[in-house]
Structure 1
Amino acid sequence: MTDLRISTDPAQLDIPLIHHFLSTQSTWAKGIGEALVRRSIANSLCFGGYLADGRQVAFARVITDRATFANLVDVFVLPEYRGLGYSRQLMDAVVAHPDLQGLRRFTLATGDAHGLYARYGFTAPSRPQTLMEKYVPDIYAVTA
């Protein structure tokens, strides 16, 4: 396994790559506009995963107040780089980040990576009856 260099420096993020993946390959943000991706990145704690040659191949975004709450979103490793341990390296960096320590609640939603996130202590909500959401799954198609 080759080590992935993880950085939270927003200047290093390959925004066109992130936008392309989210808008065309993700199941959760199909059709999202680049301006919206840029705004979401500007208002979040972002993690880029880079190969030795500087190419970005992984990404994760955390929406947080950096004190009590965080929500992990937009996590991906480019398809051609999956199976190399990069998702674990990315998650190692996320959960170790100093601004994400001592949080009361750290949430995420996943359709298919429960095993990965369980390694980091994520579980089904202990009190699902207390959670509510306003969910508009096709919002990017509607506003595109």
Structure 2
Amino acid sequence: MDCFAVAIILLNICTVVPFGISTDCRPGTYGIDCRKTCSPHCAGPDNACHSTLGTCDKGCDPGYRPPRCTSECIPGTYGRECKNLCSLHCGGANNACDVNNGSCLAGCDDGYEGVRCNDKTSDGLALPWWVLIVPSIAFVIGMLICGIWKWYRRNQ
């Protein structure tokens, strides 16, 4: 980085600009004569970035790292500017999760459930929903059959 660019960053003086670099680029462009395009992963509707450096003005879309938002999150991180850590209870290697919302890609470790595997199961095991519902339904059906049988025997 040359002295002119440093002066722009530190002092925000528009008159100290290297020849050909504009400080008045249209949104979505930067650099010499505004010929470079800002990253499509700069946050905001116009993908605005710094007219000289190309750093994203409003940060990055989820899943991308600053300053130019051209690199994806490193494994184990997610969200806007990759500031969030995936749950330690995500299954698989590196506790991998979706870079946008943090949902665990390989399911949850035993004893955890939920989209981000942050919820402990009550008995320490993650059970499918039907394991809890089927016994309840069987109990209700059993009570109905028993009641009908008693009614039938009484009315004979």
| Same fold by TM-score greater than 0.5 | no
TM-score (norm 1): 0.22
Say which structure is richer in helix.
Answer: 1
Q: Which fold has the larger relative contact order, with Cα–Cα distance below 8 Å and residues 6 or more apart in sequence?
A: 1
Q: Which entry has the higher C-alpha Rg, 1 or 2? A: 2
Say which structure is richer in strand.
Answer: 1
